[in-house]
């Protein structure tokens, strides 16, 4: 009977230059550099289980199990678990299992077959470079060379895109924590979806406007949805829309001074609330204004 080859999967963390710029990591380092090292080792320990550290019950608690597994001091592990759970990077369930929340944005993996293919391609390239005089009379055509170049470019673009996406998500997490507090686990999927739908630049601009008006992140999401409905996809378009709105407001004010007063919508109406919040309601239906007021949390004002 033929023996089946088992597929192995290799995991690794992708830490970019912003890892040590994270305000929580900076705060941890002021307490103890060892605690950050323990935290990184805990993340590595969780890779094979998709970012989770499971309590097996062999010791009195998870910290003792992890300390034994990592050959670390129990107090250091306890300190790391307590610190990073306090600041929302580790979450525990009722069975003492730990969810390493940051790992989900940093993890990458490949099978042993994929690794073999990748290493084999490197080996073939090296052999081609070593063999200056080819063994056959076949020379690669211009088309073949172009195809190889395109394949390499595609791989580099894919790798660069993946790194950029992870870096943007880390920046978004830091932006949220700086302005609104710890990111609750339930918000991770929402933030990823916003990043995919709107991009980091637009989110930053929307957050600035929300913070300026002392609002929560839901207010920023309302701004993003308003931009999306108007076809605004770039930061330049968003700023141009703001300038247009300000100019229109100024023109309306000038007309008001020159002509008979035009009655503005009461502030308690949906349109009045949106105008007060700086949203251009031109062309919006009553239903659209009603929905946007709810999304921006303006209903109770």
List the structure tokens of 178.
Answer: 């700086």
The structure tokens listed for 211 are 């913070």
In this prediction, residues 167-179 reach a mean pLDDT of 85
Q: How far is CA 122 from the centre of its chain?
A: 32
Q: How far is CA 289 from CA 29, 131, 239, 266, 300, in A?
A: 47, 70, 21, 14, 15
Instruction: Tell me the pLDDT tens digit for each residue of 48-103.
Output: 787 889 998 889 999 999 999 999 999 999 999 999 999 888 999 888 899 988 88
- Give strand pairing partners of 10: 110
Q: CA 10 from chain center: how many Å? A: 23
Backbone φ, ψ for residue 124 (5° rounding) = -65, -40
- Per-residue confidence band for 144, with pLDDT thresholds at 50, 70 and 90: low
Q: What is the DSSP letter of 47?
A: G
Over the stretch 188-229, which tens digit does the pLDDT of each residue have? 788 888 999 999 999 999 999 889 888 889 889 888 988 988
Place of tokens 């378009």: 237
Q: Is the dihedral of CA 142, 143, 147, 150 positive or negative?
A: positive
Residues 124-139: tens digit of each pLDDT: 666 655 555 544 445 5
Which tokens in the block code for residue 55?
């309590």
Altogether, the residues listed in the chain come to a count of 301
Give the tokens for residue 97: 């299992």
Helices and strands in the chain: count of H runs, count of E runs? 13, 5
Q: Is the pLDDT of residue 115 over 50?
A: no
Residue with structure tokens 């300000």? 246
State the Cα–Cα distance between residues 202 and 210, nearest whole angstrom: 12
pLDDT value, residue 135: 47
Verdict on whether the full-model pTM lies above 0.85: no
Question: Nearest 5°: CA angle at 30, between 29 and 34?
Answer: 40
In this structure, of 64-78, 141-155, 174-188, 252-266, the range with the lowest mean pLDDT score is: 141-155
Q: How confident is the model at residue 104 (pLDDT cuts 50, 70, 90)?
A: confident
pLDDT given for residue 112 in this prediction: 46
Question: Cα–Cα distance between 65 and 19 in angstroms, integer?
Answer: 27
- Cβ neighbours, 10 Å, residue 69: 16
The candidate with the shortest Cα–Cα distance to 223, out of 245, 253, 192, is: 245
Q: Residue 119 has what pLDDT?
A: 61
Residue bearing the bigger pLDDT, 99 or 277: 99
Q: What is the rounded distance in angstroms from the CA atom of residue 170 to the CA atom of residue 195?
A: 11
List residues bridging with 228 in a β-sheet.
Answer: none
């Amino acid at each position: 009977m033929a023996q089946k080859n088992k597929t192995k999967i290799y995991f690794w963390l992708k830490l970019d230059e912003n890892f040590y710029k994270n305000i929580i990591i900076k705060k941890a380092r002021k307490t103890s550099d060892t605690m950050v090292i323990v935290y990184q080792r805990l993340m590595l320990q969780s890779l094979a289980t998709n970012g989770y550290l499971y309590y097996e019950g062999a010791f009195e608690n998870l910290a003792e199990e992890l300390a034994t597994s990592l050959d670390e001091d129990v107090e250091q592990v306890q300190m790391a678990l307590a610190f990073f759970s306090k600041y929302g990077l580790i979450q525990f369930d009722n069975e003492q299992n730990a969810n390493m929340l940051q790992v989900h944005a940093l993890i990458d993996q490949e099978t042993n077959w994929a690794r073999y293919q990748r290493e084999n391609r490197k080996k073939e390239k090296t052999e081609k470079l070593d063999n200056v005089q080819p063994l056959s009379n076949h020379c690669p055509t211009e088309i073949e060379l172009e195809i190889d170049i395109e394949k390499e470019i595609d791989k580099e673009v894919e790798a660069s895109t993946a790194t950029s996406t992870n870096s943007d998500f880390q920046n978004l997490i830091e932006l949220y924590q700086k302005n609104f507090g710890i990111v609750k686990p339930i918000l991770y999927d929402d933030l990823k979806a916003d990043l995919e739908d709107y991009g980091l630049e637009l989110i930053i601009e929307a957050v600035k406007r929300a913070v300026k008006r002392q609002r929560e992140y839901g207010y920023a999401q309302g701004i993003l949805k308003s931009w999306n409905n108007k076809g605004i996809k770039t930061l330049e378009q968003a700023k141009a829309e703001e300038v247009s709105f300000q100019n229109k407001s100024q023109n309306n004010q000038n007309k008001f001074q020159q002509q008979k007063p035009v009655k503005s919508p009461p502030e308690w109406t949906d349109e009045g609330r949106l105008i007060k919040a700086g949203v251009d309601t031109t062309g919006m239906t009553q239903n659209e204004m009603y929905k946007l007021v709810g999304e921006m949390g303006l209903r109770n004002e």
